């Protein structure tokens, strides 16, 4: 037992010394010369090797989201044939629809990082030097966080929209409840939200480690999620002013 502890301690000390020795050798201290100043190109290459590609990829991911939401918001705020929708719902309408655009992008990305065969093939391409495929699970989590955030942006905005529709139609609270639970977009939206939040909370570190089987089983709700996602936008609850009134609603097969 004592010999094992001594060996372990020696190994740790040797690793520490080795790390320090490598630092000295690389810095030029052995020769007594001052460390050579790296050129901007060399600094960029070192940064790219260490962390640059990851940061650029995440930055691009965030930029795409900002562009999708920004251009979507401008479109739904200024488009000529959506005047009636804007008059009825106010800014809740462009906020909800812009968030839906971002959600479409995230839903398209969410399964790609967990397609193991696809990731293995992608690692053999030149893209492996640009896209950090080894961080596929981290990217899956990043997309998941984005899905949760924009799901709530979309949901809260539409709750405002439903309240506006009920108030202007003199439906009162009963009308608000009916619009939430007895309309296609309403009940499918709640199923979608419950599904994604169940997958999200059981996938957090502590709940997942406490009960991995629960995490694994709950994540199979993605089947229900995609079915509801495919039908959520087909009901044409908010039509455009001119024909085709239901053009551009969120269904992949329309």
Residue 244's pLDDT is 80
Query: For residues 210 and 208, what is the distance between their CA atoms, to the nearest angstrom?
Result: 5
pTM over cut 0.85: no
Check whether 223 has a pLDDT greater than 80.
Answer: yes
Half-sphere exposure (CA, 13 Å, Cβ side) for 202? 17
Run of H or E residues at 60: helix 53-78
Higher pLDDT, 117 or 54: 117
| Mean pLDDT on 225-236 | 91
Q: What is the mean pLDDT of the chain?
A: 83
Residue 23's SS3 state is helix
Cα–Cα distance, 239 to 83 (Å, whole number): 11
CA distances from 54 to 9, 45, 106, 126, 198 (A): 35, 13, 18, 16, 29
Q: Please give the average per-residue pLDDT across 55-80, as a whole number.
A: 92
Q: State the helix-helix crossing angle for 222-231 and 184-203, rounded to 10 degrees.
A: 150
Give the H/E segment covering residue 189: helix 184-203
Contact 92, 164 (CB under 8 A): yes
User: What are the pLDDT digits (tens) for 126-176?
Assistant: 888 777 788 889 899 999 999 999 999 999 999 999 999 999 998 999 999
> Taking Cα atoms as reference points, which of 198, 57, 206, 225 lies closest to residue 128?
57
Instruction: Identify whether the C-beta of residue 73 lies closer than 8 Å to the C-beta of residue 231.
Output: no
In contact, 157 and 165? CB cutoff 8 Å:
no
* pLDDT band at residue 18 under the 50/70/90 scheme: very low
Alpha-carbon distance of 10 to 155, in angstroms, equals: 58
Q: pLDDT class for 97, splitting at 50, 70, 90?
A: very high
More confident residue, 16 or 242: 242
Reduced to 3 states, what is the DSSP secondary structure of residue 115?
coil
Residue 205 pLDDT = 93
């Amino acid at each position: 037992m004592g010999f094992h502890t001594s060996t372990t301690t020696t190994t740790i000390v040797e690793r520490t010394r080795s790390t320090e020795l490598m630092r000295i050798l690389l810095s030029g201290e052995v020769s007594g010369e001052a460390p050579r100043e790296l050129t901007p190109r060399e600094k960029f290459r070192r940064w790219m090797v260490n962390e640059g590609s990851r940061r650029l990829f995440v930055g691009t991911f965030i930029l795409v989201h900002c562009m999708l939401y920004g251009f979507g918001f401008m479109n739904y705020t200024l488009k000529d044939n959506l005047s009636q929708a804007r008059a009825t719902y106010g800014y809740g309408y462009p906020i909800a629809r812009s968030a839906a655009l971002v959600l479409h992008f995230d839903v398209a990305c969410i399964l790609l990082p967990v397609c193991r065969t696809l990731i293995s093939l992608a690692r053999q391409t030149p893209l492996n030097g640009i896209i950090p495929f080894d961080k596929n699970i981290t990217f899956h989590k990043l997309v998941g966080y984005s899905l949760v955030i924009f799901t709530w942006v979309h949901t809260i905005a539409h709750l405002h929209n439903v309240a506006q529709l009920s108030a202007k139609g003199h439906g009162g609270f009963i009308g608000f409840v009916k619009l939430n639970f007895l309309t296609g977009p309403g009940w499918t939206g709640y199923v979608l939200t419950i599904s994604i939040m169940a997958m999200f909370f059981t996938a957090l570190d502590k709940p997942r480690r406490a009960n991995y089987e629960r995490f694994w089983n709950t994540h199979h709700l993605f089947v229900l999620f995609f079915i509801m996602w495919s039908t959520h936008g087909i009901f044409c609850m908010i039509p455009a002013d001119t024909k085709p009134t239901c053009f551009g609603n969120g269904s992949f097969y329309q």
